[in-house]
């Protein structure tokens, strides 16, 4: 059984993630400090809200350094969800009205950009179910059928990766949308697996059995 640290930095919704972990038969601990992460086998970074506010909360609580120790040094598998995935990037243009982008965790060489779909009738935020196209194999997608890769998205920004090898899955919403990224022991989903019913539970279960 995995012992999962779900990181609470004060503005994210952790309840649905915790429910999904426990539904998969694993132990979930909500934490905003080092103790829960140090004892965990797996880490989940959920996210809702704005990039800049989230990064300020994370840095104020020292979670950026704690994550670096747990993920980069100890090599524990990390799943970052929705805004959590965007926080893995180097920068985001969200609310950067003065042209100065917010700095992220920098765990993936990527920048976060506003969605600009070619079809003007498509609404922002992108909200609802979308199929994703798998670009390469990854343990969190093992044994998942191509017909079962529909997930629930809510977002106005998306990650643009410098290295295409980091992109595992892609959606389409008037433009290409990075849906899953992965590097080493880190994986991120732009969608919410905890709100994606059977497909989300299957992906979450795969992550909780992953031992990179």
| 65 given a catalytic annotation | no
- DSSP annotation of 138 reads -
What does the buried/exposed string (b/e) look like for 171-189 if buried means 16 or more CB atoms within 10 Å of the residue's CB?
bebeeebbbbbbbebbbbb
Round to whole Å and give the CA distance between 193 and 179: 11
| 164 given a catalytic annotation | no
| 194 given a catalytic annotation | yes
Strand order from edge to edge, sheet including 186-189: 27-31, 3-7, 42-45, 78-81, 186-189, 176-183, 167-172, 133-134
Round to whole Å and give the CA distance between 87 and 110: 10
Q: Which of 24, 32, 82, 202 is catalytic?
A: 82
Phi, psi angles (nearest 5°) of residue 14: -100, -15
197: phi > 0 → left, psi -120 to 50 → alpha, else beta; which? Answer: left
Q: Which of 24, 155, 192, 202 is catalytic?
A: 192
Q: Which of 24, 32, 42, 194 is catalytic?
A: 194
Residue located via tokens 């998969």: 24
Catalytic center residues: 82, 192, 194
């Amino acid at each position: 059984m995995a012992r999962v640290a779900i990181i609470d930095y004060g503005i994210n919704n952790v309840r649905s993630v915790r429910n999904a972990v426990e539904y998969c038969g694993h132990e979930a601990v909500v934490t905003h400090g080092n103790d829960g992460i140090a004892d965990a086998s797996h880490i989940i970074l959920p996210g809702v809200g704005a990039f800049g506010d989230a990064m300020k909360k994370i840095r104020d609580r020292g979670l950026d350094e704690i994550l670096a120790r747990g993920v980069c040094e100890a090599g524990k598998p990390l799943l970052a969800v929705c805004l959590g995935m965007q926080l893995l990037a180097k920068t985001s243009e969200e609310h950067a009205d003065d042209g100065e982008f917010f700095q992220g965790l920098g765990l993936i060489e990527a920048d976060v950009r506003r969605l600009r779909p070619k079809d003007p009738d498509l609404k922002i935020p992108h909200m609802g179910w979308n199929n994703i196209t798998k670009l390469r194999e990854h343990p969190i997608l093992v044994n998942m059928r191509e017909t079962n890769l529909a997930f629930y998205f809510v977002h106005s920004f998306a990650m643009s990766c410098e290295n295409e090898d980091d992109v595992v899955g892609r959606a389409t919403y008037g433009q290409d949308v990075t849906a899953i990224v992965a590097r080493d022991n880190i994986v991120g989903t732009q969608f919410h697996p905890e709100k994606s019913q059977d497909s989300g539970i299957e992906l979450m279960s795969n992550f909780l059995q992953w031992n990179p």
